[in-house]
A and B are shown apart, each in its own frame.
Chain A
Amino acid sequence: MASPDITSIEVLRSQLAKAIQLEHATIPPYLTALYSIRPGANTDATQILRVIVVEEMLHLTISANLLNAIGGKPDLTVKGFVPSYPATLPDGETDFTVGVGPLSPETLKAFLKIERPAMAPAGKSRHVVRKSDDHSTHLCTLPEDATLRYYSIGEFYAAIRDAIVYLDQQAKAKGETIFTGDPKRQVTSEYYYSGGGKLWPIVDPASAAKAIDLVIQQGEGKTQAIFGDSGEIAHYYRFLQLDKNRYYQQGDSPENPTGPALTTDWSAVWPIATNLKLAALPAGSELYDAAVAFNSAYRQFLALLTRAYNGEPQVLLDAVPRMFEFRNLIQQLICNPLPGGNGNAAPTYEI
């Protein structure tokens, strides 16, 4: 199938770099919401968020494998890779923003939108025109024209999937392939454990399609089914359980989960500020220094990931203890009151 958006391997690489950025962009909001839960409280929400954020880390690595497969070089250290929150995402005809804040009914709404990308209605363009009149980071933009965005995250990935097939067919006609990446650059399961699923080397259109399908299935669900092929419940429905106060089980309809009941105590959450920036903290204070130290630890972590995705997959094993270190740093920030009684601090993710 022809893909009018992505007509060259260079453009496909730049779109996959955006996919890596998109997958990562969900992690700070999810992690912060997870760690905003008070110790011992909300065990259901904690477990749901934890599973989802770990799978987002898997998706991040899968996107890097895809880019490597076609001869690209993932770089998580480029300026602007980490969005300035709130970041803007498309949701059909309207945009929505996703920010860094406490777990709340409002953040849950944004998370549900992230995980349920609507597909453009049949016969309608998969693009929408937006005026970029603000300074927030827009994700899911079209190649080379930031005023055009995909209708949804689902359409963004569908365009990539189509382009891989289309460009590889074109290459094959000339006796070539787009899968020119060094297989040694693929991050596979020996370097990645307990991380929400298996990793396999991406070397051809079939293994690439399988990778994209996994990302879409774990997120929105296979053709919007609650459970995927492996019996795993999709992120959208995992989150929806928090809204419906009940777990799904096999055979349920989306409207009516019939599993065990669960409750979320929205007040058992640290009252952290939403989208906090360093500028809001008194310069030179211990709290300011701690927020800077976190950003610096996070920047180093992204640099380690970049090495792991560029031919040194064993570095991923060293990155794991770093991840746990910044869990501790985030929890520390979240317990600190802001001066002036404006709630509690949070990581600013100004990388």
Chain B
Amino acid sequence: MTSSPRLENFVAFSAQITAFNKVEIWGTGLADVYLDTIDGLVGAAVTDALLDAFAPIATLRSDAARTDRLRLEVFGSERLGPVARAIVKLWYIGVWYPLPSTWQEQFGPTARNDAFVPTPAAFVEGLLWPAIGSHPPGAKAPGYGSWRLPPNIPSF
């Protein structure tokens, strides 16, 4: 993957809103695919606005301060909030869920208005699997007999 400052910002933003770290976000191999997907759906201007809003927040040292301002300035924003929430779902479940109709009435229609999986790898790399200490059924096989071991749930 060719890295760019914009992609790096998107990875930092994704890490902040999913509670996974940047190595894990890059580690899915999907950061560039998802950024392209989002650009294609809502338009690069909206994505840029989201990343621009996050940029000053990313520099804050305190976790609590970052969370507070993220709530206020991103998740609390009528324009950016629904997009940020859809990105959380995208990372965890690997599915893009359409934005609310109110958003589309106010800010314009998205390129697609159905729930869809951007790439087959999205299912395999969904963050929900490591979040519950499991693996995607049918992929990343954990080895014969591993089901007798307790799940290895990461601490957030």
User: A-side interface residues toward B, CB under 8 Å?
Assistant: 38-40, 193-194, 270, 286-287, 289-290, 317, 320-321, 323-325, 327-328, 331-333, 335-337, 341, 344
Contacts and interface: CB of A to CB of B under 8 A. Distances in A.
B26 A39 contact: no
A344 B1 contact: yes
A320 B143 contact: yes
B86 to A, nearest CB: 23
A344 B121 CA distance: 19
B143 A321 contact: yes
Secondary structure at chain B's binding surface: helix, strand, loop or mixed? Answer: loop
Interface in B1-58: 1-3, 21-24, 26-29
A39 B121 contact: yes
Interface string B69-86: 000000000000000000
A290 to B, nearest CB: 4
Contacts of A289: 23
Contacts of A40: 120-121
A328 B22 CA distance: 16
Contact of B23 (A38, A39, A194, A336): A336
B124 interface: yes
Interface stretch (B93-101, B104-112, B144-152): B144-152
B142 interface: yes
A324 B121 contact: no
Nearest to A340: B3
B140 interface: yes
Contacts of B142: 321, 324-325
Given A39-B124, A335-B27, A286 B143 contact: no
Contacts of B23: 286-287, 289-290, 332-333, 336
A295 B2 CA distance: 26
B1 A337 contact: yes
B150 to A, nearest CB: 11
Contacts of B28: 335
B156 to A, nearest CB: 15
B3 A341 contact: yes
Count chain A CB atoms within 10 A of each CB in B22, B120, B149 and give the residue with the most.
B22
Interface in B115-156: 120-121, 124, 140-146, 149
Top 3 A-B pairs ranked by shortest CB distance?
A332-B27, A321-B146, A335-B29
A286 B27 contact: no
Given A317-B145, A321-B149, A324-B146, A336 B140 contact: no
